[in-house]
Structure 1
Amino acid sequence: MIQVKNLVTTYGDFTAVDDVSFTAEAGRVTGFLGPNGAGKSTTMRVMTGLTPATRGTATVLGTPYAALQNPGRHVGVLLDASAQHAGRTGREVLTLGAMTLGINNRRVDQMLEVVGLTQQEAKRRVRNYSLGMRQRLGLANALLGDPKVLILDEPANGLDPAGIRWMRDLLDTFAGEGGTVLLSSHLLHEIEKIADDIVVIGRGRIVAQGTKEELLRPSGSLVRSIDDSKLQAALVAEGIEANPVPGGGLSVDAETPRVGSIAFAAGVMLTELRGADSQGLEDMFLTLTSDDARQETAA
């Protein structure tokens, strides 16, 4: 389990993380989402002991990361797949990791097999690895100590579709065996497939969190009538937001019984009334972070 409570991290006058609290539960995959500059990486660096918190706490398995005895045996971390010694071979990277953790070198071969790096590839210098191969090596390093928790920042970068599916299956199996996974990714489609819980951060603050089902559950109604303008006016008069949709009809921020009652009272005949379609993760993400996303402009 990972617990973050009232976490604040400042750099001078800039607040990168502002009173962030959430929990990543054991046996579940938690997707950690936000635009560039939202505070995701800073939060993950605090929980892995790389950046000090100004206030608040971040604990892993009930303990601050820096206080864990031999932390790699408890927590597997992958924050930057490119931050590996380019002059060493993949096998050397893992062998040094095994020595540091005090585990048998047999684990190196096991992890190479788990992440799909061949013996020939393991003999190559990391500088000659593709980004996808570095991601696999980074995951092997994170899993080397047989941890109970994985903290992964953009682990799918550079992976081809087959590699992304492999990673999804790997993390699903890890969580299914009782492990905790905190996963940051810009691949929203993949997060939607694998995550059990979702935490969304914008401008350093949590803007939404909950189970995937809770956050993506459809709300509101879609209604069509013989006089949409009159119906819209009646809904707005009751304090209900109603917006025209392409092809006719209204998207209404109210459930169907309420909409039907107002239409009846206004004397408007309905031709269709149903619950709104389920919102996808991308739509939800863009809606929640539209005011927080960094605006990119050409130089």
Structure 2
Amino acid sequence: MIKVENLSKMYGGFKAVDDVSFECRPGTVTGFLGPNGAGKSTTMRILAGLTIATSGDAVVGGVHYRDIPNPGTQVGVLLDASAQHAGRTGREVLTLSAITMGLPLTRVDEMLKLVSLTPEESKRRVRNYSLGMRQRLGIANSLLGDPKILILDEPANGLDPAGIHWMRSLLREYANRGGTVLLSSHLLHEIEVIADEIIVIGHGKIVAQGTKAELLHTAGTFVKAGDHSALANALTSAGIATLPSGDGGLRSEATPEEVGRAAAAAGVALIELRPAEGAGLEEMFLELTGDTQREAQTIEGVTA
């Protein structure tokens, strides 16, 4: 289990992480989402013992990472696939890790096969690897010690669609065997597909967390009209608050009957009026982190 309690990190007068608390349970994949500078990577670095917290606590398996004997056999960490020694071959990277952890060298071949790095590719220098190959090598390194917990920061970067599907299947199987996964990603669709639980962070604070079903379920009403502005004005005049909801529609916590009456009273013809079925992850993300977005930022640009 991963447990973060009231975690804060100050850099001078800037608070990168602000009183963050969450848990990641065995058997689950937890998606960690947030725009640039939201505090995801800082939180993960604190969990991995690379950054010292200003206050609060962050433990993995009930202890601080720095206090775990032979930590690679308990916690697999991948924070930066490009941080691997560029002058070594992929096989050398894994071999040195296996020796450090006291593992049989047969694990090297097992991991290379698991991440689909061929014998020829394993003999190439890491400097000649594509980003996708470095990600595969980093994932292999994180799994080398057969850990119970994985902490992965943007592991899908550089992977092609087939690679993303492979990674998704790998992590799902790992969690199904009882492993704990904390996964950050800017690929929102992949998080929506694989995550059991989702944490959304903005300006260093948790703005939402819960199961995927809880966060993506939306009560209220979806409504759409040919004249979007007239609809928005009619609902506002009737005291009904709304939010943009994809496909040019609006979402409100009011009932369909209340929305329909307000539109009819203003003479606004509706194209669609129905109970909301639940927001998609992208819609939820933008709604929750709207005040943290850079001007004209696109969702593809949202990274740790």
Return the TM-score normalized by structure 2.
0.87
User: For the residues of structure 1 that align with 2:40 and 2:31, how far apart are their CA atoms?
Assistant: 11
Per the alignment, do residues 15 and 223 of structure 1 end up closer, same or farther by CA in structure 2, a change over 3 Å counting? closer
Matched, 1:141 2:141: yes
Per the alignment, do residues 109 and 77 of structure 1 end up closer, same or farther by CA in structure 2, a change over 3 Å counting? same
CA contact (8 A) 2:220 2:253 kept: yes
Amino acid in structure 2 at the alignment position of 1:216: L
User: For the residues of structure 1 that align with 2:6 and 2:109, how far apart are their CA atoms?
Assistant: 41
Amino acid in structure 2 at the alignment position of 1:142: S
User: For the residues of structure 2 that align with 1:158 and 1:243, how far apart are their CA atoms?
Assistant: 34
User: For the residues of structure 2 that align with 1:207 and 1:183, how far apart are their CA atoms?
Assistant: 17
User: For the residues of structure 2 that align with 1:4 and 1:88, how far apart are their CA atoms?
Assistant: 35
Q: Which residue of 2 aligns with 1:62?
A: 62
User: For the residues of structure 1 that align with 2:293 and 2:58, how far apart are their CA atoms?
Assistant: 25
Amino acid in structure 2 at the alignment position of 1:149: I
Q: Which residue of 1 aligns with 2:252?
A: 252
Q: How does 1:13-162 map to 2 (within 5 A)?
A: 13-162=13-162
Q: How does 1:5-16 map to 2 (within 5 A)?
A: 5-16=5-16
Q: How does 1:181-192 map to 2 (within 5 A)?
A: 181-192=181-192
Spell out, residue by residue over 1:221-269, the C-alpha distance to the aligned partner (whole angstroms, 9 max, x if none).
Answer: 13589xx999988965774325799999864322346657x66xx7999
CA contact (8 A) 2:7 2:55 kept: yes
Q: Which residue of 1 aligns with 2:290?
A: 290
Q: Which residue of 1 aligns with 2:173?
A: 173
Q: How does 1:174-253 map to 2 (within 5 A)?
A: 174-223=174-223, 239-242=239-242, 251-253=251-253
CA contact (8 A) 2:246 2:283 kept: no
Amino acid in structure 1 at the alignment position of 2:117: L
SS where residue 46 of structure 2 aligns?
helix
Alpha-carbon distance, 1:215 to partner: 0.8
SS where residue 285 of structure 2 aligns?
helix
Amino acid in structure 2 at the alignment position of 1:166: W
Alpha-carbon distance, 1:286 to partner: 1.2
User: For the residues of structure 1 that align with 2:118 and 2:146, how far apart are their CA atoms?
Assistant: 20
Larger mean CA deviation between 275-284 and 87-96 belongs to 275-284
User: For the residues of structure 2 that align with 1:72 and 1:116, how far apart are their CA atoms?
Assistant: 21
Q: Percent identity?
A: 65
Gaps of 5+ in 2: 298-304
Larger mean CA deviation between 83-92 and 250-259 belongs to 250-259
Amino acid in structure 2 at the alignment position of 1:122: S
Per the alignment, do residues 118 and 8 of structure 1 end up closer, same or farther by CA in structure 2, a change over 3 Å counting? same
SS where residue 69 of structure 1 aligns?
coil
CA contact (8 A) 2:231 2:268 kept: no
Per the alignment, do residues 109 and 282 of structure 1 end up closer, same or farther by CA in structure 2, a change over 3 Å counting? same
Larger mean CA deviation between 5-14 and 286-295 belongs to 286-295
Alpha-carbon distance, 1:135 to partner: 0.4
CA contact (8 A) 2:230 2:268 kept: no
SS where residue 291 of structure 1 aligns?
helix
Indicate the RMSD between aligned Cα atoms, in angstroms. 3.0
SS where residue 83 of structure 2 aligns?
coil
Per the alignment, do residues 183 and 250 of structure 1 end up closer, same or farther by CA in structure 2, a change over 3 Å counting? closer
CA contact (8 A) 2:245 2:283 kept: no
SS where residue 84 of structure 2 aligns?
coil
User: For the residues of structure 2 that align with 1:99 and 1:131, how far apart are their CA atoms?
Assistant: 25
CA contact (8 A) 1:230 1:268 kept: no
